[in-house]
A and B are shown apart, each in its own frame.
Chain A
């Protein structure tokens, strides 16, 4: 459990909804849900979630903090936006899901070994190196995330896909040696660092 998690538990005690409203991006919308169920029924990945959005919102109101934040549900969202366009109350459901996932991650409560969460981290680190995604290294890091043996298996299984991407010039073997990036990499990194500082300060102020 992170220090921030302990602090948040201490501060909000029994009011998880209040905590979500204060700390989760777009979290204030959770109060507006009228439990019609259109989001859950419209979600293409719906049957594969532990808790569909409608249920997550109700769990937040019911104060089920641990169940929500350690759930893999928010991580299952593919950002198809079907729920947003259909929601009768115009809740930005996709954004709330991402907000909850980010918050859970920050508190150290996000489920470990959740593939989407792992991929997000690999993607972020990859992109932050040069400001552009290095497709080759992204693919390789993803294949080898569970060890060398599994990595070779994954790479062989997806051989054809890789070859096709190269043929279509979507991926280049030359990327292995550095690859392309933005003009001012250190400038970008400074900018993101500053943004992170601001966000962290905001969260810390809420503790």
Chain B
């Protein structure tokens, strides 16, 4: 790991998801020096876990590849993966950042040949697939990972597996002596792009996510639809592996609910409409039911919504499901009362997908810097934040399109600060 060379004119970007990458690139391509810090072993964030984008139903890997290439080509960007900002001191134009670097146990010699993974026996839940698959103790986070390097899970360090991996490596890329370390460097402005995480569905007690195998979340469903995902792209029931053709989507699972998330997460309506396409494309005799309070497919997304609405095998029920029970075969049954006529229903499905909302990935109490956080846990644009600017879904629940626009704006704010520093230093 190289030492970070930085000055007060450097911009620190925290988080290497789509917003962080965009902010880093926009700033770097104007000639500013940027340090991009990412907690996971790869860039791309949650977007890399998506199968398709709405509304075009194209693949995120395409745009990601372009971004990765731009980053590789740009000498102004230093990327630190498996790194976390633990402290930020100072004032706009003169901050000192403290970053904790977690060992990857793999150095830049790695060619991603995969020999180490073949010999390692230990397996762990794969966080990339939300625990729906397992990865080896030596693993490549995903096929499009950047940097394209393997990682050793710290849980195999000190076991025989670690030595086996080292012995199998032909390029001397495995270094078992790497240790956690801390580094400090100066920066003039900070772009905070730590993004979002799915709301913990188990907390919505009546839906039984923690009790019923055939009740899953929309992020898990997204992995399931991906040919590179845990089921090889097959839409099946977790309980028995049967084809899931009759699927229910429950909107506002956690969002717009004062017992859970105060805000509307904005993306879930479009996500479920997009995922309806996955089901309809996979099975000719598919039957999809969307339970909703109101569909928030705003502006140009209205077309997308109307097209799904017009499908013969897609039903819309205006009602928030009250609770879910299961029958003896493990089929989830959605119960409630609809708003269009107040009919009581009990509908049996093969699989229920909860359209869980977004919550900020950093909780209010865990911010290592002084920053103004709103009731929902997102960062407020406030003069008190000084030279720290939120980008993307750290600032609000945003889809990719809006997150990228927001990140570009944040880059401009940061550039203004470091330009003032440059002017003063002349």
Interchain CB contact under 8 A, A41 and B323: yes
Given known A-B contacts A42-B206, A42-B323, A47-B344, A37 and B252 have beta carbons under 8 A apart: no
Q: Is residue B62 contacting chain A, with contact meaning CB distance below 8 A?
A: no
B3 to chain A, nearest CB (A): 51
Interchain CB contact under 8 A, A46 and B344: yes
CB interface residues, B 268-326, toward A, < 8 Å:
293, 319-323
Interchain CB contact under 8 A, A41 and B293: no
Q: Which of the residues B206, B319, B321, B337 comes within 8 Å of A46, measured between beta carbons?
A: B337
Q: Is residue A51 contacting chain B, with contact meaning CB distance below 8 A?
A: yes
Q: Is residue B257 contacting chain A, with contact meaning CB distance below 8 A?
A: yes
A199 to chain B, nearest CB (A): 30
Interchain CB contact under 8 A, A41 and B257: no
Give the distance in Å from the alpha carbon of A52 to the alpha carbon of B321 in the complex.
15
CB interface residues, A 31-71, toward B, < 8 Å:
34-38, 40-42, 46-47, 51-52, 54-55
Q: Is residue A89 contacting chain B, with contact meaning CB distance below 8 A?
A: yes
Q: Is residue A180 contacting chain B, with contact meaning CB distance below 8 A?
A: no
Give the distance in Å from the alpha carbon of A37 to the alpha carbon of B339 in the complex.
6
Q: Is residue A90 contacting chain B, with contact meaning CB distance below 8 A?
A: yes
Q: Is residue B328 contacting chain A, with contact meaning CB distance below 8 A?
A: no
Interchain CB contact under 8 A, B337 and A89: no
In the complex, which of the residues A34, A40, A41, A52 has the most CB atoms of chain B within 10 Å of its own CB atom? A41
Chain A residue at minimal CB-CB distance from B337: A40
Q: Which of the residues B206, B259, B320 comes within 8 Å of A37, measured between beta carbons?
A: B320
Give the distance in Å from the alpha carbon of A147 to the alpha carbon of B246 in the complex.
56
Given known A-B contacts A41-B319, A41-B321, A88-B258, A36 and B293 have beta carbons under 8 A apart: yes
B352 to chain A, nearest CB (A): 15
Interchain CB contact under 8 A, A55 and B206: no
Interface size class of B (residues with CB under 8 A): 10 to 19
Q: Is residue A194 contacting chain B, with contact meaning CB distance below 8 A?
A: no
Q: A38: which B residues are within 8 A, CB to CB?
A: 320, 322, 336
Q: How many A-B residue pairs have CB under 8 A?
A: 59
Q: B335: which A residues are within 8 A, CB to CB?
A: 41
Given known A-B contacts A88-B256, A88-B258, A51 and B293 have beta carbons under 8 A apart: no
A90 to chain B, nearest CB (A): 5
Give the distance in Å from the alpha carbon of A55 to the alpha carbon of B337 in the complex.
10
Q: Which of the residues A34, A41, A51, A55 comes within 8 Å of B336, measured between beta carbons?
A: A41
Q: A88: which B residues are within 8 A, CB to CB?
A: 252, 256-259, 320
Q: Main SS of the interface on chain B? A: loop
Q: A42: which B residues are within 8 A, CB to CB?
A: 206, 322-323
Q: Is residue A202 contacting chain B, with contact meaning CB distance below 8 A?
A: no
Given known A-B contacts A34-B293, A38-B322, A86 and B339 have beta carbons under 8 A apart: no
Interchain CB contact under 8 A, A86 and B342: no
Chain B residue at minimal CB-CB distance from A36: B320
CB interface residues, A 175-196, toward B, < 8 Å:
none
B102 to chain A, nearest CB (A): 39
Give the distance in Å from the alpha carbon of A86 to the alpha carbon of B206 in the complex.
9
Q: Is residue B153 contacting chain A, with contact meaning CB distance below 8 A?
A: no
Give the distance in Å from the alpha carbon of A164 to the alpha carbon of B319 in the complex.
45
Q: Which of the residues A36, A55, A89 comes within 8 Å of B319, measured between beta carbons?
A: A36
Give the distance in Å from the alpha carbon of A52 to the alpha carbon of B338 in the complex.
11
A182 to chain B, nearest CB (A): 39
A44 to chain B, nearest CB (A): 11
Give the distance in Å from the alpha carbon of A3 to the alpha carbon of B73 in the complex.
84
Q: B259: which A residues are within 8 A, CB to CB?
A: 85-86, 88, 90
B375 to chain A, nearest CB (A): 14
Chain B residue at minimal CB-CB distance from A88: B257
Interchain CB contact under 8 A, B258 and A89: yes
Give the distance in Å from the alpha carbon of A90 to the alpha carbon of B257 in the complex.
8
Q: A55: which B residues are within 8 A, CB to CB?
A: 342
Q: List 7 A-B contacts (CB under 8 A).
A: A37-B319, A37-B338, A38-B336, A46-B344, A86-B322, A88-B256, A90-B258
